[in-house]
Structure 1
């Protein structure tokens, strides 16, 4: 696999519209997540987090990107998307948004500036072997995060279900709130009605 294919790729989706992304018989993202994300970002706004410089990993249907713009009001909103067709949607989104920087590629292989971001939102779909995902463990991701996150910055990611949230070395994990949400259709067609808002800070 050459470097170009590792850094980004162009997929033939089973379904791709404004409400649903399906590839390889798996749901990458659906509009059913919107209620959860709306609740999440309303609560995050009330926390008055510093969010001048934001990195968002994965654009999907643009749900979180729109909510970040509405509730967190970043000066710089850097969005990295690995899939070329979704990236085209990101470019359309970015046209009338000041401060949005769009990058096509695998965020793990992108040259991101050190100690740049106040807030990182990570909601990337695992495309499996074609993205060489196995080369990067969960902890590897946080080694990268620790380099690009400001010392007082925070990381946020979706947590579906009512189960425990795993700890990560070098970070303090906080469950801000557990939520009951409108039914979310998960990647495997199962339904989820419990979710949480999770923040991680360097320790």
Structure 2
């Protein structure tokens, strides 16, 4: 029988050594970056591929099977660049305050993200998130995307931490479910009762 899915009230905070943040929809405000940011950017740079074709190309790039330069070329763009595209992203309101608050407690902060390697690096450097988040597990680097269980086992293995001592914060239900099945504690952000970063801060404040 599958383990019961813990509610926020059931978090075992004293058993959490690592908080694992998703990027899109948690650290950064746009949850669906492909539809909301990437497709419009591509269209503005001459891409005529269908939405489905763009999504397929993006998935391959986010699995590390092509570079971002190869992605722009395959999408048929003119003048597109990593730097210009990444300027479209914004931090989620209140996320830096939450990271600083958690960091002060001594809990380890990491990120597990489905993203293109080059874009992830540019974004975390632009926003200075490396000050708080010590390890980045990006699908373009590790070759696997959530909700594949291998994404969670990769984090556990590389950090040498058992799943039960990790808390995932993600905006996608399928990722939260997969994390819980893999043994992690998990919270879904972006929907009630955790719709805002301030609500998440209050939920985690006993730390």
Q: The TM-score by the shorter chain falls in which range?
A: 0.3 to 0.5
Scaled by the length of structure 1, what TM-score is found? 0.41
Higher relative contact order (CA 8 A, sep 6+): 2
Larger Rg: 2
| TM-score, normalised with respect to structure 2 | 0.40
| Higher-strand-fraction structure | 1
